Amino acid sequence: MNNLVINTSKIAETGPLRGAVERYASASIDDIARRQDLAVSYEITAIENALLLRGSIRGTLTMNCARCLDGFEFPVELSFVQTYPAGTETVDVGEEARQQLVLSMPAMPVCAESCKGLCPVCGKKIDGALCCRRDETQPDDIRWEQLRKLLKKR
């Protein structure tokens, strides 16, 4: 866990607070991303009646394709801005980064839009080559027989 809770109680005297974490990881996406190679940078500035947080997240996530289950690199390049009321004692940059990261992640990550996934019969990756599903020598699935009969009557 990264310690990105920043004390902002003296920001009016010290000026803007800047920082960076080269190895950021969010535990809340561990089940989605196999590996996280992320960096977070931030700047907190006092403005009229508020604190302004500007940050960025850069790097890659290694994820599994929802269609074929192969691992692939998902590039991350995000910027975020958040305001806090004046007098806020601490700003949790890590939580803001986590929220932005979760919102940017695809619901169904795919390695490529052209990915055809796995064969439902043999479980092999469909990559253009013949698999048992497209092989005419394989017997037909008898569960579809009644539908085939209905279609032949047309």
106 domain-assigned: yes
146 domain-assigned: no
For residue 141, pLDDT beyond 80: no
49 domain-assigned: yes
104 domain-assigned: yes
Q: Record the tokens describing residue 71, joined without a space.
A: 């691992």
| Secondary structure (3-state) at 146 | helix
73 domain-assigned: yes
140 domain-assigned: no
Q: Which residues make Cβ contacts (< 8 Å) with residue 70, sequence separation at least 6?
A: 64, 111, 125
Residue-number span of the structural domain to which 19 is assigned? 5-115
- DSSP state for residue 68 in the 8-state scheme: T
pLDDT at 152: 86
Number of domains the chain contains: 1
CA distances from 24 to 53, 98, 136 (A): 17, 10, 51
Residue 123 burial (CB < 10 Å; 0-12/13-18/19+)?
A: exposed
For residue 99, pLDDT beyond 50: yes
Residue-wise pLDDT for 18-76, tens only, equals 998 888 888 777 777 888 889 999 999 999 889 999 999 999 999 999 999 999 999 99
pLDDT classification of 2: cutoffs 50, 70, 90: low
150 domain-assigned: no
* Higher local confidence (pLDDT), 150 or 31: 150
61 domain-assigned: yes
CA distance 84 to 78: 20
pLDDT at 72: 94
